[in-house]
Amino acid sequence: MTSTIRTLTVPLDGTAFPGGLPSFLVRDDVLCWTRREAGLAGFGEIARFTATGPERFLEADIWWRHLVIEADVTDHVELPGTGPVAFGSFAFSKTSAHESRLIVPEVVVGVRDSQVWVTQLTLGDGELTEQSALAALDRWLGSGSADTPAAFATVTTAAADSATEAQQGAVPGRAGAAVVRPLPLAAGATLHTGSLSEEAWMEAVTAGVAEIRTGALEKLVLARDVVATIPTGVNAAKVLRELAARYRECWTYGVDGLVGATPEMLIQVEGRTAQARVLAGTLDRRDAHGEDGLPMDYATRVLAGSEKQRHEHEIAIQSLTKQLAPFSEAMNAHDEPFILELPNVWHLASDVKAELTEVEGHVPTCLALINALHPTAAVCGTPTQVAGALIRKLEHLDRGPYAGPVGWLDAAGNGEWGIALRGAVIEGPETVRLYAGCGIVDGSQPEAELAETWAKFRPMLESLGISS
Residues 225 and 112 in one domain: no
Torsion angles phi and psi, residue 182, rounded to 5: -70, 140
Taking residues 135-141, what's their average pLDDT? 94
The answer to the question of residue 179 being in a domain is no
Residues 233 and 122 in one domain: no
Alpha helices in 275-333 (DSSP H): 295-299, 307-324
Taking residues 241-261, what's their average pLDDT? 96
Residues 246 and 371 in one domain: yes
Residues 435 and 295 in one domain: yes
Residues 271 and 130 in one domain: no
Expressed as residue numbers, the domain containing 105 is 6-140
For this structure, is 264 an active site residue?
Answer: yes
Q: What is the pLDDT of residue 177?
A: 30
Q: What is the pLDDT of residue 294?
A: 67
Q: Which of 219, 242, 395, 456 is catalytic?
A: 219
The one-letter amino acid at 10: V
Q: Are 418 and 90 in contact (CB under 8 A)?
A: no
Q: How far apart are CA 137 and CA 143, in angstroms?
A: 9
For this structure, is 270 an active site residue?
Answer: no
Spell out where 372-430 has E strands: 381-382, 405-410, 415-419, 423-428
Residues 136 and 198 in one domain: no
Share of the chain above pLDDT 70, in %: 88
Q: Which residue has the higher pLDDT, 186 or 299?
A: 299
The H or E element that residue 370 is part of is: helix 366-373
Residues 251 and 136 in one domain: no
The answer to the question of residue 149 being in a domain is no
Q: What is the pLDDT of residue 13?
A: 80
Domains identified in the chain, total number: 2
Q: What is the pLDDT of residue 316?
A: 87
Residues 353 and 453 in one domain: yes
Tell me how long the chain is.
468
Q: Which of 264, 314, 395, 449 is catalytic?
A: 264
The answer to the question of residue 175 being in a domain is no
Q: What is the mean pLDDT of the chain?
A: 87
What confidence tens digit (pLDDT) does each residue in 326-352 have?
Answer: 999 999 987 788 999 999 989 989 999
The answer to the question of residue 299 being in a domain is yes
The answer to the question of residue 170 being in a domain is no
Q: Which residue has the higher pLDDT, 164 or 339?
A: 339
Q: How far apart are CA 247 and CA 245, in angstroms?
A: 6
The answer to the question of residue 345 being in a domain is yes
Residues 413 and 279 in one domain: yes
pLDDT band at residue 159 using 50, 70 and 90 as cut-offs: very low
**Lowest pLDDT segment from 96-105, 195-204, 259-268, 344-353:** 344-353
Residues 402 and 460 in one domain: yes
Share of the chain above pLDDT 90, in %: 71
Torsion angles phi and psi, residue 193, rounded to 5: -65, 155
Spell out where 357-404 has E strands: 381-382
- Check which CATH number belongs to the domain holding 227 and give it: 3.60.120.10
Q: What 3-state class would DSSP assign to 104?
A: strand
Give the pTM: 0.89
What confidence tens digit (pLDDT) does each residue in 15-39 have?
Answer: 667 789 999 999 999 999 999 999 9
pLDDT band at residue 270 using 50, 70 and 90 as cut-offs: very high
Taking residues 211-231, what's their average pLDDT? 96
Residue 366: is its pLDDT beyond 60? yes
Q: What is the pLDDT of residue 67?
A: 96
**Lowest pLDDT segment from 36-40, 291-295, 381-385:** 291-295
pLDDT band at residue 307 using 50, 70 and 90 as cut-offs: confident
Nearest to 357 by CA among 333, 321, 322, 331: 331
Q: What is the pLDDT of residue 14?
A: 65
Taking residues 300-326, what's their average pLDDT? 87
Q: What is the pLDDT of residue 19?
A: 82
Residues 96 and 231 in one domain: no
The answer to the question of residue 368 being in a domain is yes
Q: Given the DSSP bridges, would you call strands 251-255 and 258-262 parallel, antiparallel or unpaired? A: antiparallel
Burial class (CB within 10 angstroms; exposed 0-12, middle 13-18, buried 19+) of 308: middle
Nearest to 85 by CA among 59, 99, 64: 64
Residues 195 and 270 in one domain: yes
